[in-house]
């Protein structure tokens, strides 16, 4: 017990499904993933035990705080048609994790969040928090706080009263309310606004009040549904940082919904990219960026998005090449040699149609020091100076694409340009399934 105190362990009693023993879960830090031990294990044994189970893949399902398994939700549309908002969704959010659900409008993000909060009824599947299935637990008993896009503050109440509202309903003592609201106001920089009404606040301050209402409840899990989308770009960037700092300070489990891939990339410990109710990929942001599982993810994460070129893999001598496909009657497409690291992994696909993907920053103009490159000639369609860099929109005759060039690249619209594609950063997708075949 002494050791536990020194390490500031958080203890969570829980039962592991299918196991007779009650286990104790310990969180070493907000970002540590939980380790698991019985009462009789030492800390050292505990960590070893956790590591061993992580290695065999048990950690996620046992130690995650929010586990969603095979979740389904279908709505009835106006004409009686079925709208499958969430389709066999399984996810595991770890204790203390900042987990982002990201995807285009209508992909089922908010419905997933509302199912976790208990605001929609589950058709099939289970949601568990700390090992306990909560499907039939009423929303108020789930120990979850949700922050919405429209922060819905009471206009006739002061900031203090708005933040304190939920605590009053729970019949907390005056002293406790003052202490908790004071703490939240301190964390959120609202101490000087406590006597103001919402009309006298900026959009960002109002959003912070909404967050304050959630914080004072000290919930197990925070849910955020597009909380920043009503703010202007500058305020969004600021609030992004503030919510990340808040997460670092509170160390709570947070599940955050957004359609904005910049928010997802910059805030999430892990992100799940959704399309049509299905999770396409769930991983750390840079993993998703560098190794997208399919063309949808590759096109959705990254701005400007990844470029795609349809074509064929061909073997010529001892080299493997990507031959750009062109429309009938069009000029021959470009041909690029596949890098030596990737060629062996594509050996079995010679002669097959593929989609070649490359990110805009992996295309350079010929005068730069690009490495591992193959050259492509294209017509410049548009040039967008962005300040620190320039976006060049060009067309090969068969495909349009965009390159991120240096600010001083000196390119002009209406001309031909020779560009260098860094083939060590190529991605090859199966055109039928759109899944990744090979990347670096
Ligand atoms: P957005 O970013 O636009 O909020 P989303 O990814 O959060 O989108 P959801 O709001 O979860 O998507 O909606 C998923 C699908 O379910 C959409 O097709 C939506 O029209 C439909 N839907 C959501 N709620 C209902 C409802 N109450 N009745 C009927 N259809 C619904």
pLDDT tens digits, 399-408:
999 999 988 8
Q: Is the pLDDT of residue 53 over 60?
A: no
CB count in 10 Å sphere of residue 8: 9
Q: Closest Cα to residue 93, out of 275, 277, 223, 246?
A: 223
The contacts of residue 82 (CB under 8 Å, 6+ apart) are 74, 75, 76
Position with higher pLDDT, 123 vs 31? 123
pLDDT at position 149: 79
Question: What is the H or E stretch that residue 237 is in?
Answer: helix 233-250
How do beta strands 82-94 and 64-76 pair? antiparallel
Q: Is the pLDDT of residue 310 over 70?
A: yes
| Residue of 80, 106, 224 to mutate, ligand 1, most atoms within 8 A of C-beta | 106
Position with higher pLDDT, 28 vs 426? 426
pLDDT-derived band of residue 234, with 50, 70 and 90 as boundaries?
confident
* CA 73 to ligand 1 centroid distance, Å: 10
CB count in 10 Å sphere of residue 243: 23
The contacts of residue 390 (CB under 8 Å, 6+ apart) are 383, 384, 404, 405, 406, 407, 409, 411
pLDDT-derived band of residue 118, with 50, 70 and 90 as boundaries?
very high
In percent, the amount of the chain with pLDDT more than 90 equals 62
Q: Is the pLDDT of residue 17 over 80?
A: no
| Mean per-residue pLDDT, 230-243 | 84
Q: Work out the end-to-end distance of the chain between its first and last CA atoms, rounded to an integer number of angstroms.
A: 47
Question: What is the H or E stretch that residue 43 is in?
Answer: helix 43-55
Position with higher pLDDT, 412 vs 348? 348
Q: Whose CA is nearest to atom 16 of ligand 1?
A: 85
Question: What are the tokens at 57?
Answer: 């893949």
* CA 121 to ligand 1 centroid distance, Å: 14
For 242, list phi and psi in degrees, rounded to 5. Answer: -65, -40
In the chain, CATH 3.40.50.300 sits at: 66-300
Q: Taking each helix axis as running N to C, give the angle between helix 203-215 and helix 233-250, from 0 to 180 degrees, rounded to the nearest 10.
A: 20
Q: Whose CA is nearest to atom 11 of ligand 1?
A: 108
Domain 66-300 has CATH 3.40.50.300: yes
* CA 238 to ligand 1 centroid distance, Å: 28
pLDDT at position 408: 80
pLDDT at position 52: 29
Give residue-wise pLDDT tens across range 343-355. Answer: 999 999 999 999 9
Q: Do residues 380 and 413 touch, judged by C-beta distance below 8 A? A: yes
pLDDT at position 61: 32
* CA 12 to ligand 1 centroid distance, Å: 35
Q: Closest Cα to residue 96, out of 8, 164, 181, 158?
A: 8
| Residue of 85, 226, 261, 273 to mutate, ligand 1, most atoms within 8 A of C-beta | 85
Position with higher pLDDT, 249 vs 23? 249
3-state secondary structure of 37: strand
- Give the Cα separation of 395 and 41 in Å (integer): 64
Q: 267-271: long-range contacts (C-beta < 8 A, 24 or more apart)?
A: 267/98, 267/100, 267/240, 267/243, 268/98, 268/99, 268/100, 268/102, 269/31, 269/97, 269/98, 269/99, 270/97, 270/99, 270/100, 271/99, 271/100, 271/101, 271/102, 271/301
CB count in 10 Å sphere of residue 398: 17
Q: Is 278 a pocket residue for ligand 1 (Cβ < 6 Å)? A: no
Q: Do residues 66 and 96 touch, judged by C-beta distance below 8 A? A: no
CB count in 10 Å sphere of residue 408: 7
pLDDT at position 419: 94
- Give the Cα separation of 402 and 323 in Å (integer): 19
Q: Whose CA is nearest to atom 19 of ligand 1?
A: 106
Of 17-26, 305-314, 391-400, the range with the lowest mean pLDDT is 17-26
* CA 342 to ligand 1 centroid distance, Å: 41
pLDDT at position 292: 98
- Give the Cα separation of 271 and 264 in Å (integer): 7
Q: Is 83 a pocket residue for ligand 1 (Cβ < 6 Å)? A: yes
Indicate the DSSP class of residue 339: P
Give residue-wise pLDDT tens across range 250-305. Answer: 889 999 999 999 999 999 999 999 999 999 999 999 999 999 999 999 999 999 99
The CATH topology of domain 307-439 is: OB fold (Dihydrolipoamide Acetyltransferase, E2P) (2.40.50)
Residue 77 Cα: closest atom of ligand 1: 29
- Give the Cα separation of 373 and 364 in Å (integer): 9
In the chain, CATH 2.40.50.140 sits at: 307-439
Q: Taking each helix axis as running N to C, give the angle between helix 174-188 and helix 203-215, from 0 to 180 degrees, rounded to the nearest 10.
A: 140
């Amino acid at each position: 017990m002494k050791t536990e105190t020194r390490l500031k362990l958080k203890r969570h009693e829980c039962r592991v499904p299918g196991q007779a023993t009650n286990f104790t879960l310990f969180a070493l830090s907000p970002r540590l993933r939980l380790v698991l031990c019985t009462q009789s294990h030492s800390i050292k044994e505990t960590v070893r035990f956790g590591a061993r189970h992580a290695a065999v893949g048990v950690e996620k399902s046992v130690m995650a705080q929010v586990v969603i398994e095979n979740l389904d939700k279908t709505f009835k549309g106006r004409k009686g048609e079925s709208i499958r908002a969430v389709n066999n969704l399984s996810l595991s959010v770890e204790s203390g994790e900042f987990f982002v659900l990201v995807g285009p409008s209508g992909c089922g993000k908010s419905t997933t969040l509302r199912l976790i909060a208990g605001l929609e009824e589950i058709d099939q599947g289970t949601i568990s928090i700390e090992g306990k299935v909560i499907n039939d637990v009423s929303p108020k008993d789930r120990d979850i706080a949700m922050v919405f896009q429209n922060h819905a503050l009471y206009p006739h109440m002061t900031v203090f009263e708005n933040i304190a509202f939920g605590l009053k309903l729970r019949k907390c003592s005056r002293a406790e309310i003052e202490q908790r609201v004071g703490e939240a106001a301190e964390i959120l920089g609202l101490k000087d606004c406590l006597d103001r009404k919402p009309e006298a606040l900026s959009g960002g301050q109002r959003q912070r009040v909404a967050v304050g209402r959630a914080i004072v409840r000290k919930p197990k899990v925070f849910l955020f549904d597009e909380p920043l989308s009503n703010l202007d770009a500058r305020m969004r960037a600021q609030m992004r940082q503030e919510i990340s700092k808040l997460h670092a300070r509170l160390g709570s489990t947070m599940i955050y919904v957004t359609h904005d891939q910049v928010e997802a990339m910059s805030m999430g410990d892990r992100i799940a990219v959704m399309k049509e109710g299905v999770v396409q990929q769930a991983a750390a942001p840079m993993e998703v960026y560098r190794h997208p599982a399919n063309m949808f993810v590759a096109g959705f994460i990254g701005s400007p998005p990844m470029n795609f070129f349809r074509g064929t893999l061909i073997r010529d001598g001892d080299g493997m090449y990507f031959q750009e496909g062109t429309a009938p009657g069009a000029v021959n497409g470009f041909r690029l040699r596949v890098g030596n690291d990737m060629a062996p992994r594509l050996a079995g696909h010679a002669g097959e149609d593929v989609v070649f993907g490359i990110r805009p920053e992996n295309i350079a103009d010929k005068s730069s020091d690009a490495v591992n490159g193959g050259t492509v000639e294209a017509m410049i369609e548009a040039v967008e100076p962005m300040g620190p860099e320039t976006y060049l929109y060009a067309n090969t005759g068969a495909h349009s694409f965009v390159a991120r060039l240096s600010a001083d690249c000196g390119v002009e619209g209406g001309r031909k340009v020779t560009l260098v594609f860094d083939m060590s950063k190529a991605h090859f997708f199966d055109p039928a399934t759109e899944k990744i075949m090979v990347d670096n």
